[in-house]
């Protein structure tokens, strides 16, 4: 187990790599974090995102599926991106699940119908990626 300061420093550096599109560095750092804290859902989702950008889609799917991702909007978004890249028909259902989870989150925050309509009108195409 890592000390909290070390874990925080690695997580910050990994996040910086991710935001700078340094996918290999981000994947290595998030992989290290996941190895030391397997239940860290945020690091697993970020790892999956970086792996997807590196074209390592099957590893990314494994990282997401090790979570209980059914009710996790970010995990569904990452899965939808992966499935889209693979031209997998599951992309559509993942985008729908993502949109549904986002509208539930928006309603819970008091944004209700306006946020739900914005997501619905986008058809789940929040990434600019092609839809099946």
- pLDDT in the model for residue 119: 39
pLDDT reported for residue 87? 85
The reported pLDDT for the residue numbered 116 is 42
Q: How far is CA 125 from CA 16, 58, 81, in A?
A: 26, 22, 10
Looking at the chain, which runs of residues are DSSP E strands? none
Q: What is the mean pLDDT of each run of 10 residues along the chain (132 residues)?
A: 82 95 96 91 92 93 80 81 84 75 60 44 38 35
The reported pLDDT for the residue numbered 122 is: 38
pLDDT of residue 110: 53
pLDDT of residue 85: 85
Q: What is the pLDDT of residue 108?
A: 52
For the full predicted model, state whether its pTM sits above 0.75.
Answer: no
As a whole number of Å, the CA-based R_g of the chain is 16
Identify the CA nearest to 26 among candidates 8, 6, 40, 12: 12
Residues in Cβ contact with 63 at an 8 Å cutoff, skipping those fewer than 6 apart: 34, 44, 45, 47, 48, 51
User: d(Cα 114, Cα 120) in Å, to the nearest integer?
Assistant: 10
DSSP state for residue 132 in the 8-state scheme: -
């Amino acid at each position: 187990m890592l000390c909290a300061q070390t874990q925080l420093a690695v997580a910050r550096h990994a996040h910086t790599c991710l935001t700078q599109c340094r996918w290999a560095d981000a994947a290595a750092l998030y992989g290290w974090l996941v190895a030391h804290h397997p239940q860290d859902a945020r690091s697993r989702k970020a790892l999956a995102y970086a792996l997807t950008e590196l074209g390592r889609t099957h590893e990314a799917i494994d990282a997401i599926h090790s979570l209980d991702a059914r009710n996790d909007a970010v995990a569904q978004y990452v899965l939808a991106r992966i499935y889209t890249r693979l031209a997998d028909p599951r992309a559509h259902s993942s985008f729908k699940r993502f949109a549904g989870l986002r509208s539930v989150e928006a309603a819970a925050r008091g944004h209700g119908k306006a946020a739900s309509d914005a997501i619905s009108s986008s058809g789940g195409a929040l990434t600019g990626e092609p839809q099946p």
